[in-house]
A and B are shown apart, each in its own frame.
Chain A
């Protein structure tokens, strides 16, 4: 089947940025540390944004309350992590990862169910009305954040890293934190799974077709409503996964932690192109790397690096990286 030529320029942006910064940063070990930190941060943002961008692409719904799902995911993980304290403190990578895996499963299950409820109760009545959608999902976020306070109390909650993931590898002169490597691995895994799911399965085909033209998919006899709901739940579960990763990275949990990263998530999906998983992947990495390099090279500039990056990319491709 003749295929459209691949759009390779965006994919080259990330390595190009990394290489271009090497001489500017000057020292190899610092560069390695900065780059790994940026990649880890980018992967976590990618996990949180991927669900949102898919939901937007398929349903034309932008969930401003997505950040609350991130927080709920992190708090839900403590339901498993607290009873399994022993496994986390054991100095065995296997036991640590098993406990963490269970916590992630718990977080994803809770946020998926919350996503279903949210879609039914909050969003369903306002499909197609953007202004109301924005307002009502903001309202949903306020309520969910307050509910976190009601259920888990208003105090900050500690979320210590498992024993085997603390500390750093030393590679020559460069120190690489172990947890960041795990974050990169999880991010890549999510990306691969999503890409395979979207490009190699029938479900993925339907989702992609739905993004392009929902009515046509419906006319072919598929129930696009069910697809919507499933994608919404999956997107929420990804937010939950992102929440666990983000919570372990920050090591303290607050109800507003998700809302605080939403700005980065929004910038990511804007520069990635709404609805595109690969654009979102590249966008997240670009943004986190830029922020890290800028923080090292010109700390004052770091504050506005997100905005500068967003403007630069939108000037080049007004609809985001994935759309020519």
Chain B
């Protein structure tokens, strides 16, 4: 059963299994083991980032494509839901329409970019996607009558999901529309993640890995590598758009900074590398660590900065806003010393116990 669910791709390390179990159980029970809005928000963000990063891992870790346009697809999905709900009386049908349009747009864009740019070398593709994504971000903020411009758009959701809609109390938390929304996000995230796991462990996924390892050889074996890469690009884009849709549903807000900004792209890169490229599970561990660090490391750093107050550079280096400095350094070290990330590290330990 579990084996089927995970497509035969088990964690293959005891420590890793325990960690994954902790994360999954923590997320599944988040509304009831925590109190207040902030932890729930953290948990929902983790769910969404797991999907977003897993879909990016399909590209970078499994196929060896470096794309900077992933946030564009994330944003398309978010705007699809946002614009679908954007009316005085939000309806599910218009949201479904918006989401369908967003998925179609993401698919078409991913296909076109892939068709044009995936024939060329990795570096070209990285540069071209960077250019396309930044133009898209500018476009989204300029078409302000539609998208709300830089400020973005806040919208209402149907009454079923609104916090005013209370179902009763359970284990100390009032189960309301917000908790229901959380579970929609959680279960959608689980489903998409399992689907992606299925994709990378299918024969199709093996071909992608073959392309990553040696494109020339894969081509010689008779696989049309360009088609496979375009397909991977499209699947990644669709999953990212779905993650964006969940983000919009959760935040009830769409704006360029939360979905299209380059900061989101650097977050994805940091998570996928630190978690472990080409492992899928890396996205779970990485996203959980990263979002928790984002929310709680800062207060720790504030304390550390207080302790070294007066030491000129060190104090500002430990300022809570500088947390990216330390993650950036960790990122570079990760690429050198453990390129398969946290997950790879655990798996290697599991293979050679005692070392």
Binding site for B on A (CB under 8 A): 62, 64, 122, 125-126, 130-132, 134-136, 138-140, 142-143, 146-147, 149-151, 153-154, 259, 262-263, 266-267, 269-270, 300, 303-304, 306-307, 310-311
Contacts and interface: CB of A to CB of B under 8 A. Distances in A.
Interface in B309-332: 313, 316-317, 319, 321-322, 324-325, 327-329, 331-332
**Interface size class for chain B?**
35 or more
Contact of B131 (A122, A125, A267): A267
Nearest to B316: A150
B335 A139 contact: yes
Contact of A266 (B127, B319, B325, B327): B127
Q: Which of B131, B324, B329 has the most CB of A within 10 A?
A: B131
Given A139-B335, A146-B324, A151-B313, A131 B66 contact: yes
B328 A131 contact: no
Nearest to A319: B120
Given A146-B328, A259-B262, A270-B124, A138 B269 contact: yes
Contacts of A138: 266, 269
Contacts of A311: 116
Interface of B: 60, 64, 66, 116, 121-124, 126-128, 130-132, 134-135, 138-139, 142, 262, 266, 269-270, 273, 313, 316-317, 319, 321-322, 324-325, 327-329, 331-332, 335-336, 339
B335 A307 contact: no
A126 to B, nearest CB: 8
B335 A270 contact: no
A143 B328 CA distance: 5
A127 to B, nearest CB: 13
A150 B317 contact: yes
13 contacts: A122-B332, A135-B269, A135-B273, A135-B331, A143-B332, A150-B313, A150-B316, A150-B319, A150-B325, A263-B135, A266-B130, A310-B128, A310-B131
Contacts of A126: 335
A292 to B, nearest CB: 16
Contact of A307 (B132, B269, B322, B325): B132
B131 A266 contact: yes
Given A139-B331, A266-B131, A132 B339 contact: yes
B321 A131 contact: no
Given A125-B336, A126-B335, A270-B131, 12 more contacts: A131-B60, A131-B66, A134-B66, A134-B122, A136-B332, A143-B328, A146-B324, A147-B325, A154-B319, A270-B124, A304-B135, A310-B131
